[in-house]
Structure 1
Amino acid sequence: MKFPIDVDYYRFPTLAYKRRKLFGNMSNKSDKLHKQVVREQQKRIKPGECQKYVRMVIDAGFLHISVGQELLQQINSTDLKYEIRSLPIGNCIIWERNIGQHTIVPGSSGSALDEAWKMENHVLHWIGESNMHHSQQEQRACLGHKLRIAFPDCQYTVALPKLRHSKHSSGSQDPSGLIELQLLHQLHVEQLGTPESQELLCLLQRYTKAIAETPYKKQRDESLGLFKKYLANDKKQCVRVEQGNGYGRLWQQHLNRLPLVTLEVAESIIAQYPCPKKLLDHFSDDPTAVQSLADLKIKRCNGPQPLHTERRIGNVLSNKLYTLYNARDPNALI
C-alpha cells in the first residue's frame, strides 16, 4: 500500500511512524476480513454443507389439507429446514438461502439480530385432486399468469396427483389440461403417485438438494471450458487437464483401466506411442501393427538392471487394444 509523502515525517518522525503503522494494520485487517468472507461463502456453497443454508417456505394453506398435514409430519423426521408462512398464492412452496448477513429484529432495542435470507428463483405449486376436474379449467388457465405476478422471474413447477383414467367414472380427469399448462403456460408438471405426501416429500428433497448445489455447479462450469470440464472432473481416479498439461497422465490413466495393463506396461506403451493418435495411426497404416505391439518390451522400474527379465506386451493384450480401437460393433467383447 502506497502512502503520500508525509511532511510531518521530518518534523515529527514518531507521529508519522505511528500513522503509517496504523494504516498498515487497517489494511491487514481488511485483507483478513475479505479472505474470511470468501472462505465463508465457499463453505456455504460446498456440496454436503450447502443444504444447511437453504430452507423451504411452505404456505400456511398446507395446514388445512390432509396432504399438507402428512407432509409436515414427515418433514420433521428429515434434515430439511422449513418455515410456515402465508404466501401470495395458496399451496405454494418457495426456497430461501441464508446469505450470511444479520439484520436487526424489528421492535428490538438493537441487540437482537436475525439472519438474512434471499429467495431462490424456484416455486412449486400443489394442485389437489379436487382442483383437477373440468369445473376448475378456467382457474388452471390463469395459474401461470398468477404465478408470474406473485413470483416474477422464477421457474415454476406444478405438482399434482397422477391422473386416473376410467371409462365408467364421471370423475375421470382429462390430461389435456396438463398439456396446456406445459405448452401454453410454460409450467413444469410433476405427477405424483400414492402415497401423495411421501412422493411430494421425495420431490422436495430432490429440489432442495439441486437448488442448494446450484451456485457451486455454476461456479465450477464458469471456471471450465466446454471440453475441459469433462477432463477436469473432481471425482476419484479422474485426471485434471489444464493449459495443455495432463494429457500424458490422462493417456496413462486410460491404459491402466484396461485389464492386464499395469503401470510398467502403460509406461512402455506410452514410450512408443506418446498419444492415442500415434497408436491409431500405427494400427491403420501398418498391417503388422498388432504383432509389433505384441513384441514391444516392457520396461522394468524396480530392482537392479542385471536382474531384470525381458517381458513382452504379448499377443493377448495387443489384440485387445486393436479390438478396442478398431471394432465397429458396439457389442464386441474385448
Structure 2
Amino acid sequence: MREAMQGRDQLPSIGNVLAEDCSEKGQKKQRAKKSVIGIEKEGKRAERMKNRAMMKAEQAQKKALKMAAAEAYRCKKPGECLKYIQVCLDQQLLTAEYGGEILVSLQSAEMQYNIQSNLVPCSIFWTREVQEHFVGEDMEVHVRSRKEEEEEILIVWHWEKVMRLIHAVDLTNHIQSLQLTLPGKKLTLVVYGVEQYFRYHNSSKRQEVRAKVGKLKTSKKTENFENTPRISRDKFDTALTELQLFADCSHRLVEKPHDLGTFIRQFSKAIAEVPFKLVKYFYWM
C-alpha cells in the first residue's frame, strides 16, 4: 500500500502535464510568430533592396540617356557636323580651270572629299556618316554608324554646253533624263562663266572684232564665242525659268573659279547643318 502511494507520487499530475503542454504550445507559437516576423522582415528588406536597385538602375539609365542625347546633339552642331560629311567630286571637275579652287576651298574648311567617277559627269553629291547613340545593357553609351547619301546633287556645266542645249530646245529634257537615272535626288544646275559670253556679244566692238577675224589671230575663247549659237539674255533666262517650273531644277550662275569654290563650300556646309536646323525648327514649333 505504501509502495503504491509512493508510485503515485512519482507520476506527474494531470495539472502539471496540462501546464507543460500549454507552456510548450505557447513557446511553439512564439517561435512560429518570431519566424513569421523574421520572414516578413527579410521580405521587406529584400523588397527595399530590390526597389533601391531598381531606382539606381533607372537613375543610371536616365543619366546614360541624357548623355546619349547630348552627344547626338553635339554631333549635329555647326562645325562639328562637318566631320561627318564627305563631298563626292566627279573627277572631270578637276580637269577644268576651276578644279584647283574647288579643292582649295574645301580644304580651307577642313572638309572631307573624295575624287571619283560619278554616275553623272561633272556632278557633286554628299554622303553623311549618321551616328546613332544608344544605351546598352551595361548602362553605357554606345555608338553605331551608317552612311547615307544626301538628296542634293550639284551639276556644274560650262556656259557653252548650256547654250547649245538651249539652242536645241533640249535643256529641260536633258535634265529630266538625268533625273530618271537619279530617282529621289534634287538637282541644282550651276552654269559657269556665262556673263563673259553675253559681254562678248554685247560689246560695242563686236562688229569690228568680227571683221578682223580673218586678219587677226583669235584666241580659243573668242573662237568659242563665235562658234557657239547666239542666244539672247531673254531666251537664256526663259530657259532657266522653264527648267525650274517643269523639272523642279534650280540654278546658280557663277563666273570665277574662286566664286565656284566658295559656293560649293557653302553649299556643303548648308547640307551638313540640315539635321541641326531641323532639330531647332521642331523645338520651336
Q: TM-score, normalised by structure 2?
A: 0.57
Partner amino acid, structure 2, of 1:49: E
* 1:213 shift after superposition: 2.6
Give the distance between the partners of 1:61 and 1:81, measured in 2 at CA. 18
Instruction: Give the equivalent residue in structure 2 for 1:82.
Output: 113
Structure having the larger proportion of residues in strand: 2
Q: Is the CA contact (8 Å cut-off) linking 2:84 and 2:129 kept in structure 1?
A: yes
For the 8 Å contact 2:123–2:153, the answer to whether it is kept is yes
List aligned pairs for 1:20-99, cutoff 5 A. 27-99=58-130
Are 1:124 and 2:158 counterparts? no
Structure 1 pair 23–143 and aligned structure 2 pair: CA distance change class (3 A): farther
| CA separation of 1:90 and 1:21: change in aligned 2, threshold 3 A | farther
Compute the displacement of 1:38 (Å): 0.9
> Contact 2:86–2:126 at 8 Å: present in 1 too?
yes
Structure-to-structure mapping, 1:255-294, within 5 angstroms: none
CA contact (8 A) 1:94 1:122 kept: yes
Q: Deviations over 1:154-211 (max 9, x none)?
A: 43211012422216545255314433322322211101112xx211111112212322
Whole-Å separation in 1 of the counterparts to 2:66 and 2:80: 19
Give the structure 1 partner of residue 278 of structure 2. Answer: 218
In 1, Cα distance between equivalents of 2:114 and 2:51: 50
Bigger CA radius of gyration: 2
Asked if structure 2 preserves the Cα contact closer than 8 Å seen for 1:62 and 1:69, the reply is no
Q: Are residue 181 (structure 1) and residue 243 (structure 2) matched?
A: yes
Tell me the CA shift for residue 118 of structure 1: 2.0
For structure 1, the 5+ residue unaligned runs are: 1-8, 103-112, 226-334
TM-score, normalised with respect to structure 1: 0.50
**CA offsets per residue over residues 287-306 of structure 1, 9 Å max, x none?**
xxxxxxxxxxxxxxxxxxxx
Structure 1 segment 151-300 matched on structure 2, within 5 A: 151-163=182-194, 164-165=197-198, 166=201, 169-171=226-228, 174=231, 175=236, 176-194=238-256, 197-225=257-285
CA deviation map 1:238-262 (0-9, x unaligned): xxxxxxxxxxxxxxxxxxxxxxxxx
Cα contact 2:127–2:148 (8 A) shared by 1: yes
Secondary structure at the aligned position of 1:96 is classed as strand
Structure 2 letter corresponding to 1:160:
V
Whole-angstrom CA distance in 1 between matches of 2:71 and 2:91: 33
Q: Counterpart of 2:247 in 1: which secondary structure?
A: coil
Instruction: State the identity %.
Output: 20
Contact 1:132 1:173 in 2 (8 A): no
How far residue 127 of structure 1 moved from its aligned partner, in angstroms, is 0.9
> Is the Cα contact below 8 Å between 1:54 and 1:81 reproduced in 2?
yes
Please, which moves more after superposition, 176-185 or 22-31?
Answer: 22-31
- CA RMSD across the alignment: 3.5
Query: Aligned with 1:76: secondary structure?
Result: helix
1:100 aligns with 2:97: no
| Long gaps (5+) in structure 2 | 1-38, 134-142, 207-225
1:111-148 deviation line (CA, Å, top 9, x unaligned): xx995322222211111234223267466333432443
What count of residue pairs does the alignment treat as equivalent?
Answer: 205
- Distance across 2 between alignment mates of 1:222 and 1:64: 43
**In the aligned structure 2, how far is the partner of 1:180 from the partner of 1:208?**
26
Cα distance in 1 between the residues matched to 2:93 and 2:72: 33
Mean Cα displacement is larger for which, 56-65 or 184-193?
56-65
**Take 2:146 and 2:188, find their aligned partners in 1: how far apart are those partners?**
25
The one-letter code of the counterpart of 2:69 is: V
| Relative contact order higher in (CA < 8 Å, ≥ 6 apart) | 2
TM-fit CA distance, 1:53? 2.7
Return closer, same or farther for 1:30/1:54 CA change in 2, 3 Å cut-off: same
Distance 1:180 1:87 in 2: 26
Tell me the amino acid that sits aligned with residue 98 of structure 1: E
**Separation in 2 of the partners of 1:15 and 1:25?**
15
